[in-house]
Copies of this chain bind each other. A is one copy, B any other.
Protein backbone atom coordinates (compact mmCIF):
# COMPACT_ATOMS: atom_id res chain seq x y z
CA UNK A 1 0.00 0.00 0.00
CA UNK A 2 2.81 2.39 0.85
CA UNK A 3 4.11 1.99 -2.71
CA UNK A 4 0.89 3.35 -4.13
CA UNK A 5 0.16 6.13 -1.63
CA UNK A 6 3.27 7.95 -0.53
CA UNK A 7 3.33 9.35 2.97
CA UNK A 8 3.56 13.10 3.06
CA UNK A 9 6.14 14.46 5.49
CA UNK A 10 7.19 18.01 6.25
CA UNK A 11 10.82 18.91 5.69
CA UNK A 12 12.45 21.95 7.25
CA UNK A 13 15.89 22.07 5.65
CA UNK A 14 16.77 24.87 8.07
CA UNK A 15 19.63 27.36 7.93
CA UNK A 16 23.34 27.25 7.24
CA UNK A 17 24.36 23.71 6.34
CA UNK A 18 20.69 22.66 6.63
CA UNK A 19 19.86 22.60 2.90
CA UNK A 20 22.97 20.53 2.07
CA UNK A 21 22.34 17.86 4.67
CA UNK A 22 18.62 17.83 3.81
CA UNK A 23 19.62 17.20 0.20
CA UNK A 24 21.62 14.21 1.38
CA UNK A 25 18.53 12.80 3.11
CA UNK A 26 16.37 13.36 0.05
CA UNK A 27 18.80 11.58 -2.24
CA UNK A 28 19.24 8.63 0.09
CA UNK A 29 15.49 8.28 0.61
CA UNK A 30 15.01 8.31 -3.13
CA UNK A 31 17.71 5.71 -3.68
CA UNK A 32 16.19 3.52 -0.97
CA UNK A 33 12.75 4.02 -2.48
CA UNK A 34 11.27 5.29 0.73
CA UNK A 35 7.60 6.04 0.04
CA UNK A 36 7.79 9.57 1.35
CA UNK A 37 6.85 12.75 -0.40
CA UNK A 38 8.44 15.81 1.15
CA UNK A 39 6.62 19.04 1.75
CA UNK A 40 9.41 21.58 2.13
CA UNK A 41 9.12 24.63 4.32
CA UNK A 42 11.71 27.28 4.96
CA UNK A 43 12.03 29.62 7.91
CA UNK A 44 10.51 32.93 6.96
CA UNK A 45 12.31 36.25 6.76
CA UNK A 46 9.65 38.15 8.70
CA UNK A 47 7.93 37.50 11.98
CA UNK A 48 4.65 35.73 11.42
CA UNK A 49 2.24 37.26 13.94
CA UNK A 50 0.39 33.96 14.27
CA UNK A 51 3.52 32.16 15.52
CA UNK A 52 5.30 35.21 17.00
CA UNK A 53 8.43 33.92 15.33
CA UNK A 54 10.07 33.56 11.95
CA UNK A 55 8.34 30.24 11.52
CA UNK A 56 5.40 30.53 9.20
CA UNK A 57 1.96 29.41 10.23
CA UNK A 58 1.79 27.33 7.04
CA UNK A 59 4.85 25.34 8.04
CA UNK A 60 3.31 24.49 11.41
CA UNK A 61 0.04 23.58 9.68
CA UNK A 62 2.03 21.28 7.42
CA UNK A 63 3.42 19.32 10.38
CA UNK A 64 0.02 19.23 12.03
CA UNK A 65 -1.51 17.84 8.87
CA UNK A 66 1.23 15.36 8.01
CA UNK A 67 1.93 14.41 11.64
CA UNK A 68 5.50 13.68 10.69
CA UNK A 69 8.46 15.81 9.74
CA UNK A 70 12.20 16.25 9.64
CA UNK A 71 14.03 19.37 10.66
CA UNK A 72 17.53 20.67 10.02
CA UNK A 73 19.30 23.25 12.20
CA UNK A 74 17.56 26.58 12.62
CA UNK A 75 19.48 29.65 13.70
CA UNK A 76 17.21 31.97 15.64
CA UNK A 77 17.87 35.50 14.33
CA UNK A 78 19.11 37.81 17.05
CA UNK A 79 16.79 40.56 18.23
CA UNK A 80 13.79 41.04 20.45
CA UNK A 81 10.11 40.60 19.93
CA UNK A 82 10.05 37.06 18.66
CA UNK A 83 10.40 33.58 20.01
CA UNK A 84 13.19 31.06 19.46
CA UNK A 85 12.37 28.85 16.48
CA UNK A 86 13.04 25.64 18.34
CA UNK A 87 10.98 26.67 21.33
CA UNK A 88 8.13 27.82 19.09
CA UNK A 89 8.03 24.45 17.40
CA UNK A 90 7.98 22.65 20.74
CA UNK A 91 5.24 24.87 22.10
CA UNK A 92 3.02 25.17 19.06
CA UNK A 93 3.20 21.50 18.15
CA UNK A 94 3.13 20.37 21.76
CA UNK A 95 6.29 18.33 21.23
CA UNK A 96 6.33 16.91 24.71
CA UNK A 97 9.10 14.34 24.49
CA UNK A 98 12.54 14.66 22.97
CA UNK A 99 13.97 11.23 22.31
CA UNK A 100 17.63 10.73 21.58
CA UNK A 101 19.03 7.30 20.88
CA UNK A 102 22.72 7.53 21.63
CA UNK A 103 24.89 4.68 20.46
CA UNK A 104 28.56 4.23 19.61
CA UNK A 105 29.14 4.28 15.87
CA UNK A 106 31.04 1.13 14.92
CA UNK A 107 34.53 2.03 13.78
CA UNK A 108 34.39 5.58 15.02
CA UNK A 109 36.53 5.55 18.13
CA UNK A 110 35.85 7.70 21.17
CA UNK A 111 36.81 7.06 24.78
CA UNK A 112 33.69 4.92 25.14
CA UNK A 113 32.73 1.66 23.45
CA UNK A 114 29.31 0.15 23.15
CA UNK A 115 27.34 3.10 24.39
CA UNK A 116 23.68 2.31 23.88
CA UNK A 117 21.36 4.69 25.68
CA UNK A 118 18.09 6.43 25.05
CA UNK A 119 17.47 9.80 26.67
CA UNK A 120 13.86 10.92 26.87
CA UNK A 121 13.44 14.54 27.85
CA UNK A 122 10.26 16.30 28.92
CA UNK A 123 10.21 19.09 26.40
CA UNK A 124 7.50 21.57 27.37
CA UNK A 125 7.79 22.79 30.94
CA UNK A 126 10.15 22.69 33.93
CA UNK A 127 12.89 25.30 33.84
CA UNK A 128 11.78 26.32 30.34
CA UNK A 129 8.56 27.96 31.54
CA UNK A 130 9.79 31.38 30.47
CA UNK A 131 8.43 32.77 33.75
CA UNK A 132 11.04 35.03 35.28
CA UNK A 133 11.01 38.35 36.99
CA UNK A 134 12.96 40.77 39.10
CA UNK A 135 11.72 40.70 42.68
CA UNK A 136 13.66 43.75 43.78
CA UNK A 137 16.79 45.29 42.30
CA UNK A 138 19.52 42.66 42.25
CA UNK A 139 17.16 39.77 43.04
CA UNK A 140 15.64 37.79 40.19
CA UNK A 141 13.71 34.57 40.18
CA UNK A 142 12.62 32.05 37.62
CA UNK A 143 9.89 29.49 37.98
CA UNK A 144 10.28 25.83 37.34
CA UNK A 145 6.86 24.33 36.68
CA UNK A 146 6.19 20.62 36.92
CA UNK A 147 2.73 19.29 36.19
CA UNK A 148 1.22 15.92 36.75
CA UNK A 149 -0.14 15.89 33.22
CA UNK A 150 3.17 16.52 31.44
CA UNK A 151 5.10 14.24 33.77
CA UNK A 152 2.70 11.34 33.27
CA UNK A 153 2.73 11.92 29.54
CA UNK A 154 6.50 11.76 29.18
CA UNK A 155 6.76 8.85 31.64
CA UNK A 156 4.14 6.97 29.61
CA UNK A 157 6.12 7.63 26.49
CA UNK A 158 9.35 6.42 28.08
CA UNK A 159 7.87 3.13 29.27
CA UNK A 160 6.01 2.63 26.04
CA UNK A 161 9.24 3.22 24.15
CA UNK A 162 11.21 0.89 26.40
CA UNK A 163 8.69 -1.89 25.88
CA UNK A 164 8.33 -1.37 22.14
CA UNK A 165 12.11 -1.37 21.67
CA UNK A 166 12.86 -4.33 23.91
CA UNK A 167 14.64 -2.23 26.51
CA UNK A 168 15.05 -3.49 30.05
CA UNK A 169 15.13 -0.52 32.30
CA UNK A 170 13.92 3.05 32.73
CA UNK A 171 15.84 5.39 35.03
CA UNK A 172 14.11 8.56 36.18
CA UNK A 173 16.67 11.32 36.69
CA UNK A 174 15.89 13.95 39.30
CA UNK A 175 17.03 16.17 42.13
CA UNK A 176 14.11 15.45 44.42
CA UNK A 177 16.37 15.51 47.47
CA UNK A 178 16.47 19.28 46.92
CA UNK A 179 13.38 20.01 44.83
CA UNK A 180 11.08 17.74 46.77
CA UNK A 181 7.83 19.13 45.41
CA UNK A 182 8.65 19.66 41.74
CA UNK A 183 10.99 16.76 41.08
CA UNK A 184 9.05 14.83 43.70
CA UNK A 185 5.91 15.12 41.56
CA UNK A 186 7.86 14.06 38.50
CA UNK A 187 9.06 10.94 40.31
CA UNK A 188 5.62 10.18 41.67
CA UNK A 189 4.26 10.18 38.11
CA UNK A 190 7.09 7.95 36.90
CA UNK A 191 6.36 5.49 39.70
CA UNK A 192 2.68 5.39 38.82
CA UNK A 193 3.48 4.57 35.22
CA UNK A 194 6.18 2.08 36.21
CA UNK A 195 3.57 0.03 38.02
CA UNK A 196 1.76 -0.53 34.74
CA UNK A 197 4.93 -1.95 33.20
CA UNK A 198 6.08 -4.66 35.60
CA UNK A 199 8.29 -6.17 32.88
CA UNK A 200 10.42 -3.01 32.71
CA UNK A 201 12.80 -2.35 35.60
CA UNK A 202 12.50 1.07 37.16
CA UNK A 203 15.00 3.09 39.17
CA UNK A 204 15.55 6.68 40.29
CA UNK A 205 18.93 8.36 40.04
CA UNK A 206 19.93 11.80 41.30
CA UNK A 207 21.20 13.93 38.43
CA UNK A 208 24.65 14.69 39.81
CA UNK A 209 25.27 11.05 40.52
CA UNK A 210 23.85 10.13 37.12
CA UNK A 211 26.37 12.38 35.35
CA UNK A 212 29.22 10.86 37.32
CA UNK A 213 28.06 7.34 36.52
CA UNK A 214 27.60 8.21 32.84
CA UNK A 215 31.19 9.34 32.42
CA UNK A 216 32.52 6.42 34.43
CA UNK A 217 30.43 3.72 32.82
CA UNK A 218 27.58 4.54 30.46
CA UNK A 219 26.66 0.87 30.28
CA UNK A 220 25.02 1.36 33.67
CA UNK A 221 22.06 2.98 31.91
CA UNK A 222 19.45 1.98 29.38
CA UNK A 223 16.48 4.38 28.96
CA UNK A 224 16.61 7.65 30.92
CA UNK A 225 13.59 9.89 31.42
CA UNK A 226 13.78 13.34 33.00
CA UNK A 227 12.49 16.89 33.33
CA UNK A 228 13.40 19.42 30.66
CA UNK A 229 16.69 20.96 31.82
CA UNK A 230 18.18 17.69 33.05
CA UNK A 231 17.30 16.24 29.67
CA UNK A 232 18.95 19.13 27.90
CA UNK A 233 22.13 18.56 29.91
CA UNK A 234 22.24 14.78 29.91
CA UNK A 235 21.37 14.31 26.27
CA UNK A 236 24.28 16.54 25.28
CA UNK A 237 26.58 14.79 27.73
CA UNK A 238 25.58 11.46 26.17
CA UNK A 239 26.15 12.84 22.67
CA UNK A 240 29.65 13.77 23.81
CA UNK A 241 30.34 10.16 24.79
CA UNK A 242 29.90 8.98 21.22
CA UNK A 243 31.42 11.91 19.38
CA UNK A 244 29.09 14.88 19.52
CA UNK A 245 25.87 16.36 18.19
CA UNK A 246 26.96 15.79 14.61
CA UNK A 247 26.37 12.07 15.11
CA UNK A 248 23.28 11.90 17.31
CA UNK A 249 19.75 11.52 16.07
CA UNK A 250 16.85 13.16 17.82
CA UNK A 251 13.10 12.93 17.49
CA UNK A 252 10.37 15.01 19.10
CA UNK A 253 7.07 13.41 19.91
CA UNK A 254 3.94 15.51 20.10
CA UNK A 255 0.37 15.05 21.22
CA UNK A 256 -1.69 13.02 18.79
CA UNK A 257 1.29 11.08 17.54
CA UNK A 258 3.20 13.86 15.80
CA UNK A 259 6.87 13.05 15.28
CA UNK A 260 9.34 15.74 14.29
CA UNK A 261 12.83 14.32 13.89
CA UNK A 262 15.66 16.83 14.01
CA UNK A 263 19.39 17.27 13.90
CA UNK A 264 20.21 19.08 17.13
CA UNK A 265 23.58 20.45 16.08
CA UNK A 266 24.05 24.06 14.97
CA UNK A 267 23.71 25.53 11.51
CA UNK A 268 27.52 25.89 11.17
CA UNK A 269 27.40 29.07 9.05
CA UNK A 270 31.20 28.97 8.66
CA UNK A 271 31.06 25.88 6.44
CA UNK A 272 27.60 26.43 4.92
CA UNK A 273 27.41 26.05 1.17
CA UNK A 274 30.87 24.49 0.97
CA UNK A 275 29.82 20.85 0.61
CA UNK A 276 31.69 20.06 3.84
CA UNK A 277 28.86 19.33 6.28
CA UNK A 278 28.34 15.95 7.88
CA UNK A 279 24.72 14.87 7.30
CA UNK A 280 24.91 11.96 9.79
CA UNK A 281 22.79 13.48 12.57
CA UNK A 282 20.02 14.46 10.16
CA UNK A 283 20.23 11.09 8.41
CA UNK A 284 20.04 9.13 11.64
CA UNK A 285 17.18 11.41 12.71
CA UNK A 286 15.37 10.58 9.49
CA UNK A 287 15.82 6.93 10.42
CA UNK A 288 14.04 7.53 13.74
CA UNK A 289 11.24 9.14 11.71
CA UNK A 290 10.98 6.01 9.55
CA UNK A 291 10.80 3.86 12.65
CA UNK A 292 8.05 6.06 14.02
CA UNK A 293 6.18 5.35 10.75
CA UNK A 294 6.86 1.63 11.26
CA UNK A 295 8.92 1.56 8.06
CA UNK A 296 11.48 -0.62 9.78
CA UNK A 297 12.85 -2.29 6.63
CA UNK A 298 13.71 1.05 5.08
CA UNK A 299 15.02 2.31 8.41
CA UNK A 300 17.30 -0.71 8.84
CA UNK A 301 18.59 -0.48 5.30
CA UNK A 302 19.44 3.20 5.55
CA UNK A 303 20.84 2.99 9.06
CA UNK A 304 23.10 0.09 8.09
CA UNK A 305 24.31 1.93 5.02
CA UNK A 306 25.19 5.00 7.11
CA UNK A 307 26.90 3.01 9.83
CA UNK A 308 28.80 0.82 7.37
CA UNK A 309 30.04 3.85 5.46
CA UNK A 310 31.34 5.43 8.64
CA UNK A 311 32.78 2.13 9.88
CA UNK A 312 34.67 1.45 6.66
CA UNK A 313 36.19 4.87 7.08
CA UNK A 314 37.06 5.51 3.46
CA UNK A 315 34.45 8.22 3.13
CA UNK A 316 34.20 10.46 6.12
CA UNK A 317 33.58 14.18 6.39
CA UNK A 318 36.17 16.50 7.90
CA UNK A 319 34.59 16.62 11.37
CA UNK A 320 35.25 12.87 11.61
CA UNK A 321 38.84 13.25 10.46
CA UNK A 322 38.14 12.41 6.82
CA UNK A 323 38.28 14.50 3.68
CA UNK A 324 35.05 13.58 1.91
CA UNK A 325 32.63 16.18 0.70
CA UNK A 326 29.01 15.95 1.81
CA UNK A 327 28.06 14.69 -1.65
CA UNK A 328 30.82 12.03 -1.69
CA UNK A 329 29.77 10.73 1.71
CA UNK A 330 26.16 10.69 0.52
CA UNK A 331 27.07 8.77 -2.60
CA UNK A 332 29.07 6.26 -0.55
CA UNK A 333 25.97 5.62 1.56
CA UNK A 334 23.84 5.18 -1.55
CA UNK A 335 26.37 2.68 -2.87
CA UNK A 336 26.00 0.73 0.35
CA UNK A 337 22.23 0.57 0.11
Contacts and interface: CB of A to CB of B under 8 A. Distances in A.
- A contact residues, range: 35 or more
Interface string A175-188: 10111111011000
A232 B208 contact: yes
A127 B178 contact: yes
Interface string A132-149: 111101111111111111
- Copies of this protein in the assembly total 2
Nearest to A241: B215
B127 A138 contact: no
Interface string A213-226: 11110000000000
B144 A142 contact: yes
Contact of A212 (B128, B146, B240): B240
A156 interface: no
Given A142-B144, A143-B143, A180-B132, A212 B237 contact: yes
A35 interface: no
Contacts of A175: 127, 229, 232
A191 B224 CA distance: 36
Given A139-B148, A144-B142, A144-B144, A134 B181 contact: yes
A251 interface: no
A75 interface: no
A142 B182 contact: yes
Contacts of A128: 178
Nearest to A184: B140
Nearest to A208: B236
A97 interface: no
B146 A143 contact: no
A224 to B, nearest CB: 14
Contacts of A209: 236
A78 to B, nearest CB: 11
Contact of A144 (B137, B141, B235, B236): B141
Interface of A: 84, 110-112, 127-128, 132-135, 137-149, 175, 177-182, 184-185, 207-209, 211-216, 229, 232-237, 239-241, 243-245
19 contacts: A111-B215, A127-B178, A127-B179, A132-B179, A135-B145, A139-B147, A140-B146, A140-B181, A140-B184, A141-B144, A141-B145, A141-B146, A143-B144, A175-B229, A175-B232, A207-B232, A211-B211, A211-B234, A216-B244
